[in-house]
Structure 1
Amino acid sequence: MAAQSNEPKSRYLQYLEMVTGPLEDKRRYRQYKARIKQLPQNYRTAAEALERYLMLLGPADGAGAMAMYEDLVDLFEQSAADGTPIRDIFGEDPVEFVEAFVANYPAGQWRSRERNRFTSAIERAAGEDTTRQDRTE
């Protein structure tokens, strides 16, 4: 990553980033997309499908999402270099894989908390004794 300049940003850049978001995130996204395009076809197809899923159901914030996408492309690049079959990356349930992967990132942890909170509330409403803890603290 390039070192950021200590010079203050121009008013134009400040306004542009206020409207469009940080330019650094956009640069990182373009680099990520370029890396995806370099993958062998079957890995690229799987990575693009995973990206589409995450765009709809994954974390939405720019910086957190970019860290996750960069880790994913690292995984696919290494898997392609090692010749790891696609099914060995995802296992039998691709959704289970992606949900476990997303849970490792701060933006994805809210889903696990809310899933646990929801399940506990339903169990309490049904009069079931639950040992689950709501993580509402």
Structure 2
Amino acid sequence: MIGDKRRWRAYKARTRQLPSNYRTAVDALERYLMHFGPADGDTAASMYEDLADLFERAAADGTAIREIVGEDPVDFAEVFLQNYSKGGWVARERERLTSAIKRAEEQDGDSHS
């Protein structure tokens, strides 16, 4: 647990150094990612570190916020999350739903034989 806390503090220190507009965007994304992102500490820490990397590079290059997130920030966040959501509850529920529908389909095929 102490390692995760150190990583979190380091991430927060990095994001505090961003220009205010980038920091505002990161804070908003962070809030969204906390609700829908991975639950395990190591994966979550990696995700936030990658978010900081992305915005640090963008700030250094002078990349506009909309060039980073596009027209739909929710879509950006969802695509970003796909890299980390294997262990998250949303991914598990999506997988559970897909498997249940597949089983139902197979049973449907059996009943029509």
Structure with higher Rg: it is 1
What band does the TM-score fall into relative to the shorter chain? Answer: 0.7 to 0.9
Q: State how many pairs are aligned.
A: 101
| Identical amino acids, percent of aligned pairs | 63
Kindly indicate which of the two structures has a greater share of residues assigned to helix: 2
Question: What is the correspondence of 1:95-106 to structure 2 with a 5 Å cutoff?
Answer: 95-105=74-84, 106=86
Q: Which deviations, in whole Å up to 9, do the C-alpha atoms of 1:40-68 show, x marking residues without a partner?
A: 00000000011111112211211110000
Question: What is the correspondence of 1:104-123 to structure 2 with a 5 Å cutoff?
Answer: 104-105=83-84, 106-108=86-88, 111-112=90-91, 114-115=93-94, 118=97, 121=101
TM-score (norm 2): 0.78
**Aligned-residue offset at 1:115:** 3.3
Is 2:72 the counterpart of 1:93? yes
Supply the RMSD in Å over aligned alpha carbons.
2.1
Query: Unmatched 5+ residue regions in structure 2?
Result: 106-113
TM-score (norm 1): 0.65
Name the SS of the counterpart of 1:67 in structure 2. Answer: helix
- Structure of greater relative contact order (alpha carbons < 8 Å, 6+ residues apart): 2
Structure 1 runs, 4 residues or longer, greater than 2 Å off: 110-121
Kept in 2, the 8 Å contact 1:58–1:102? The answer is yes
